[in-house]
Structure 1
Amino acid sequence: MEQYVYLIRPTRDSFVDSMTEQEGKVMDRHFDYLNEMLSEGNLIMAGPCLDGAFGIVVFRAESEDMAKKVMESDPSVMERVMTGEVHPYRVSLMEKESQ
């Protein structure tokens, strides 16, 4: 399988500070989705920028088309809370354990 990264960006600048209850539920589903990818062995790493600018998801997929489907199936993208873009990617260096 190939590696890919998708970036997600909030649809508005004040998202982190003004998230609605419904958006919070969508983001909970987003986190569950990533946990499912992790348990399936397809997620390499994921996390947000602490300033709320964007989040990244590094993962494995069979093809670029499948990678796009993975991103488009993320609840935060499906519900248009976030916009997303996917790119081919390769992890070159990584510490053994995240801190």
Structure 2
Amino acid sequence: MREYIYILKLIPRLHEEKNWTEKDEGLVRDHFVRLKEYCDEGKVITAGKTDREDDKGFGIVVFKEENDEKAEEFMKEDPAVKHGIMTAEVFSYKTALRSEK
């Protein structure tokens, strides 16, 4: 298994809280639940986001996958990406340091 990272960005419409719909919120819930399940299984190493909701904000998911094609597929199946409320780009990744604390 290799490590990958995908970087997520909210679409511009969602930079303002007043523009969020119930559907958007549901998709983010689905996104979180999926990542939590894969984290519990050991596939997702870490996931999180900055506290910015503007065009400079972003989220990351570091995960394990067999190859580039499967990593791309894993990213595209993220509900937030699949339903177009977040854009994403995947890269191969190599953790250089990891705290054991």
Partner of 1:43: 44
Q: Distance in 2 between matches of 1:35 and 1:16?
A: 26
Give deviations 1:67-98, integer Å, cap 9, x for gaps. Answer: 0000000000001000010000011112224x
Partner of 1:64: 68
Structure 1 residues 37 and 14, CA, compared in 2 at 3 Å: closer, same or farther? Answer: same
Which blocks of at least 5 consecutive residues in structure 2 are unaligned? none
Q: TM-score, normalised by structure 1?
A: 0.91
Cα drift, residue 20 of structure 1: 1.7
Moved runs in structure 1, 4+ residues, more than 4 A? none
Give deviations 1:24-77, integer Å, cap 9, x for gaps. Answer: 000000001101111221011000111131100000000010000000000000
Structure 1 residues 7 and 45, CA, compared in 2 at 3 Å: closer, same or farther? Answer: same
Helix, strand or coil at the partner of 1:51 = coil
Partner of 2:92: 88
The one-letter amino acid paired with 2:12 is R
User: Superposition RMSD on alpha carbons, in Å?
Assistant: 1.4
Helix, strand or coil at the partner of 1:80 = coil
The one-letter amino acid paired with 1:75 is P
Query: What is the aligned length?
Result: 97
Structure 1 residues 16 and 90, CA, compared in 2 at 3 Å: closer, same or farther? Answer: farther
- Which piece of structure 1 moves more, 36-45 or 74-83? 36-45
- State the identity as a percent: 33
